[in-house]
Amino acid sequence: MWSPLGGGLLTGKYRGSAERRLSDLGMVIHTESTGQKTAVVDTVLAIAQETGLAPAQIAVAWVRERAARSAATLVPIIGPRNLSQLDSYLGTLDVQLTDEHYTRLTEVSAVPLGAPHDGIAASLDRLEGGAADRITAPVVPVA
C-alpha cells in the first residue's frame, strides 16, 4: 500500500500551514479536497488525541490492521525523510488499535460504491418484501 499517510495528509500537518510540500512543490499529492477526506483526517487526529499517539502512527497502525484482517497481502510502503519519522514508523509496530478505533477509521474512509449498488441499497427493503430489518446479511470481510 503506497503512501499510507496520503503524502502527509493524514498527519494533519498541512492544515492551515504552508509547510514544505505545499509550497516547495506547488502541490500536494493529497489535499482535503472533499468532505470525506476532511472527515478521515479529523478521525485520525481524534484517535491520535485519544490515544496519545502521533497521527502518523495511527494511520500506519490502521493500514497494518487492515492488512491483518485482509485476505490479500497489504504492505505499507513508508517514506520517512528523516530519522525521527523512521523512529515514529517503527514505533507503530507496538501500536494495537482497538476494534472501535479500527471501525471508525474504516467506516469514515469507505469508498462510495456507486451504481448499481446505491440503487439496490435504496430498494433493499422493497426487494426483501418490506422485511429488510429482520434479515441478517452475511458478513463479508473487507479485502
Residue 1 lies in a domain: no
- For the chain (143 residues), the mean pLDDT of every run of 10, in chain order, is 64 64 55 83 94 91 90 80 87 92 95 84 79 73 63
pLDDT for residue 1 = 47
Tell me which residue range forms the domain holding 99. 9-112
Model-level pTM greater than 0.85?
Answer: no
How high is the pLDDT of residue 83? 92
Q: Is residue 72 part of a domain?
A: yes
Note the pLDDT of residue 11. 75
Task: Domain count for the chain, please give it.
Answer: 1
Angle between the N-to-C axes of helices 99-108 and 55-69, in degrees from 0 to 180, rounded to the nearest 10: 90
Cβ(7)–Cβ(77) below 8 Å: no
* 139 domain residue, yes or no: no
CA distances from 8 to 20, 73, 81 (A): 11, 23, 11
Specify the pLDDT at position 117.
83
How much is the pLDDT for 100? 97
